[in-house]
Amino acid sequence: MKRWGDLSQEAVDFLSASAVLDHAEMAVVVTDRFSNLLYWNPFAEKLFGRQGKGSVREGSVLSLGIMEKDHPLAVELAKHVLKGGVWEGTFDVKRGDGTMIYVRAQAVPLRHDSGSVTGIVITAREAMRSNEREKDRFGLLERIGERLAGSLYVEETLKRVAEMLVPQFADHCFIELMEGERLVRRVSQHVQGWTPPPDTWKPVGSEIRYPAGHYADTAMRRQETILVEDFASSNFPSPHEGSARLCGEIGMTSAVVAPLCVRGETLGLMYLGLSNLTDRRSPHYDAFDRDFVGAIATRVALAVDNALLFEEERHTAESFQKHLLPRALPALDGLDIAVRYYPAAPLASHGQGIQTQVGGDWYDVIPLSAGRVGIVIGDVEGRGAKAAAIMGQLRAALRAFAQDDKPPADILARLDEWTRIIATPEQDESGADISVPPIVTCQYLVYDAWSRQLSFANAGHAPPLLLHDGQCLEMSIEEVGQPLGVRAKGMHADLVYKEETRTLPPGAALVLYTDGLVDRRPGRDFGGRMPSDEETLGILQEKLAACTKENVERIADTATRAVPGEIDDDMAILVLRASPVDLDVEERTFPAQPIMVGEARRMAAEAFSGWNVPDERAELACLLVSEVVTNVVLHAATASIPRRELVVEGPPLPFEESWDVPGFEEELVSDKEFTLRLRRGEESVWVEVFDQDLRLPRIRSAGENDEGGRGLYLVDQLAKRWGSRPTREGKAVWFEIPTRSR
């Protein structure tokens, strides 16, 4: 064979390099040292789906359509070849028309006459479409395995399989999985631009029944890959008439059906077919293709099995998480609330293996006394079942502590002690306790919709965002305490957690969230780098500021989507909006004298009448007002005045006069006062009685001949809810009466 320089001038002109490359059935691409494209031949244009003449053009080798996940591989290729090496491998390439193919490429250095490397010459062809199929087989199987290993979800796994095989290896791809005793179609992928007409091939979600003797039925029964090399020379029963008609119309030529088997169980099957919809060199599969599809099916079955196992574990974990979080939010007066909880993506890419998505983020809304509401959001460090279990214990404990109606700082102090109690017991070699409590950030707030007063204490949690008048700002917090479980020994929790009070403007909204909302995996928006906390918080505030007038559901959705990037940790969001109008309330202070019982009852009757409370409900509420106020007056006497039992002779007095007993008030005169506060809600009225006595009331058993001891029993039996709580000046006794008949 002669060298180019040995040819005559006429032959050289006829056999120019460009003329030879124009006819080559292989893509040839030339780049400079900086991977800028210098040349590609016509076959390269066809292979990569790019338009243009085979001449100098702008762009880098990455513009040929190499998938983004293979960019690092392309960079390493260039470095290796520019050092004088030779590289060979397979790339995923997305063509100009959107289809994806696998390209087998070889890269060699382009050398100057002096011997220095001036660029790279790449020769490429579509994998499995040449005479070197045996060599391509291992490379392509490796790439398929890599793509399948990156998926933990059944639907995503099946989608990846179909994208790999159509149109690279097949014109049609069906994947069906067993659901109990039914075979259900999960994927129906075809060459781009074509879809099966209605009433022909069954769509996704349909049950598939292959008749006895059908090659797919044979593959399932025998658990082996079946090849139909040429439909023209074969005869099989068809699933139904429409299927047979369509196969004839599109000219089905060949098919391979492989069962998806793992651990001795058949999960389903994978069907690949060729037809006249595409122009291929060989319109028929052969034995080599059958073996190759069988090898792919084995990998697909393992991937599907892993995905099914993971989804089962995920479903179990998420069910566990959902049962630990509130099932439904209570209806609250003067407050609209929306919540969101999103688990994080799996941690497979973090080098920690496949882990469940649940974590320790939680929220809660707790109805308190007289229409007040406790609001909590917290985050247990870590993730997985352990974090979720700790979260469940803390949420249950906080709900119990909250019922005492103590200030938020006291609640966090008790929760801090509980966090230390639930630490996993551990001991060192000497037997000393070295238990490490979980680290928990938490914020507990108490909101009174009638006064718009918000009291809160913070244990290392991110401040809420306040939305009002088109602005979104962090709510100022002067005292941010230590996270639960980490305060220094010897320092009492009361010194760590401080209560603060704010007044919410009418119509203002608060957004409480855990750090998963702003801590995202880096995306393209930040150039692949990890954004700072200030950047992500700024983006969140900017997006929320634009929707301050929206309802709480829209605000919650906006917050969820505001920060770009994939969720890296589970996140909880709680949005609440204060009522734009004032709620009905009546309040008056009385001397703690028996004569004031009637006055208090009269005030209540007038208020209930003005609020259009049904007479039956109003009378019941007035009765209980009398009982509670009487109890307060009886205990308001000073200790130096002896108490006497009240004995009323004669027939029972009418209800309106029963408390105006001559002489009774003279024996119990006191300089103390009580305050009666009435509140009206959408479904209930609340009554609160405040006094300076620190003793909390309790129900006691009254004997048959006792004159007293039954007041609180009546309250307990007739009110929907009742209770008492300590205040700075004494205590408050309250009860709730529904405004609608039971």
Assess whether pLDDT exceeds 60 at residue 351. Answer: no
Confidence of residue 658 (pLDDT cuts 50, 70, 90): very low
Tell whether the model's pLDDT for residue 2 goes beyond 70. Answer: no
Least confident of 126-135, 386-395, 494-503, 719-728: 126-135
At 345, the pLDDT band (50, 70, 90 cuts) reads low
96 or 32: which carries more pLDDT confidence?
32
Task: Please tell me which residue, 293 or 4, carries the higher pLDDT value.
Answer: 293
- Rounded distance between C-alpha atoms, residue 573 and residue 559, angstroms: 8
What pLDDT score was predicted for residue 528? Answer: 54
Q: For residue 140, name the pLDDT band (cuts at 50, 70, 90).
A: low
By the 10 Å C-beta count (0-12 exposed, 13-18 middle, 19+ buried), 628 is classed as buried
203-235 pLDDT per residue, tens:
999 999 999 989 999 999 989 999 999 888 888
Which of 196-210, 555-569, 601-615 is the least confident region?
555-569
- Considering the chain, what percentage of its residues have pLDDT values greater than 90? 32
Q: Which residues pair with 481 in a beta bridge?
A: 459
Whether residue 464 has pLDDT greater than 70: yes
Q: Which of 109-113, 434-438, 488-492, 648-652 has the lowest mean pLDDT?
A: 648-652
What's residue 521's pLDDT? 63
Q: Which of 305, 300, 385, 388 is nearest to 341 (CA)?
A: 388
Question: What does the pLDDT average to over 51-55?
Answer: 52
For 611-649, the pLDDT digits (tens) are: 999 999 999 999 999 989 988 888 765 433 444 444 445
Q: For residue 101, which of 75, 77, 127, 122 has the smallest C-alpha distance?
A: 127
Tokens of 118: 């001036």
Weakest mean pLDDT among 110-114, 513-517, 655-659: 655-659
Q: Among 44-53, 163-172, 468-477, 557-566, where is mean pLDDT lowest? A: 44-53
506 phi and psi angles, rounded to 5 deg: -55, 130
pLDDT score recorded for residue 13 = 57
Judge whether residue 17 has pLDDT over 50. yes
Tell me the pLDDT of the chain averaged across its residues. 81
Please tell me the distance from the alpha carbon of residue 551 to that of residue 581, in angstroms, as a whole number.
15
Least-confidence region, from 95-99, 284-288, 432-436, 627-631: 432-436
Lookup: tokens for 571:
């996140």
43 contacts 26 by C-beta, under 8 angstroms: yes
Give the pLDDT confidence score for residue 360 in this predicted structure.
81
More confident residue, 85 or 710: 85
CA distance 606 to 601: 9
For range 262-268, the mean pLDDT: 88
SS3 category, 301: helix
412-458: pLDDT as tens digits: 999 998 888 887 666 666 666 666 788 899 999 999 999 999 999 99
As given in the structure block, the two tokens for residue 572 are 């909880």
The pLDDT value recorded for residue 634 is: 81
**Predicted local confidence at residue 532, as pLDDT:** 75
25-29, 216-220, 452-456, 553-557: least confidently modelled range:
25-29
What pLDDT was estimated at residue 354?
45
426 close to 436: Cβ distance less than 8 angstroms: yes
Q: What is the pLDDT of residue 357?
A: 60
CB-count burial class (<10 Å; 0-12, 13-18, 19+) for 329: middle
Residue 146 confidence (pLDDT) above 60? yes
pLDDT at residue 129 is higher than 80: no
Phi/psi class of residue 459: alpha, beta or left (left: φ > 0; alpha: ψ in -120 to 50)?
beta
Q: Are 679 and 686 in contact (CB under 8 A)?
A: yes
pLDDT, position 54:
44
CB contact at 8 A, 398 and 440: no
Of the listed ranges 289-293, 502-506, 686-690, 701-705, the one predicted with least confidence: 701-705
